[in-house]
Amino acid sequence: DAGVIQSPRHEVTEMGQEVTLRCKPISGHNSLFWYRQTMMRGLELLIYFNNNVPIDDSGMPEDRFSAKMPNASFSTLKIQPSEPRDSAVYFCASSLMGNYEQYFGPGTRLTVT
């Protein structure tokens, strides 16, 4: 298996632009998680999905952030409009329902100037 796939690996954009991060979970996994890593706050859970349904989005910072999972093999995290404070590494992870072990993707390093 190729593992969790994220794209792009690096994104540099200007303040105010829309940013879309993509994730393909491991085939057969039913749960998908989006995390943000910053120096100050460590690894923060933004949102997670079970069977493509968002279960808890209380970690999403504000209305500028949105996430979708249209099918079992694809999810997006969108930031519109982006701000410099959104600069961070964004990780996607997936797991089997009922199996607690999460498998992380390589992350997307976002820089907003």
Partner 1 sequence: ILNVEQSPQSLHVQEGDSTNFTCSFPSSNFYALHWYRWETAKSPEALFVMTLNGDEKKKGRISATLNTKEGYSYLYIKGSQPEDSATYLCAFTSGGYQKVTFGIGTKLQVIP
CA angle, 72 then 27 then 9, to 5°: 85
Contact segment (CB under 8 A) with partner 1 among 18-26, 43-51, 60-68, 77-85 equals: 43-51
Interface size with partner 1, residues (CB under 8 A): 21
Asked if residues 95 and 101 have their Cβ atoms less than 8 Å apart, the reply is yes
102 binds partner 1 (CB under 8 A): yes
Q: Can you read off the two tokens belonging to residue 11? A: 């994104």
Q: Which of residues 48-67 bind partner 1 (CB under 8 A)?
A: 48, 50, 55-56
The conformation of residue 62, written as its DSSP 8-state character, comes to S
Nearest-Å Rg of the Cα atoms of the chain is: 13
| Residues at the contact surface with partner 1, assessed by CB under 8 A | 31, 33, 35, 42-45, 48, 50, 55-56, 91, 95, 100-107
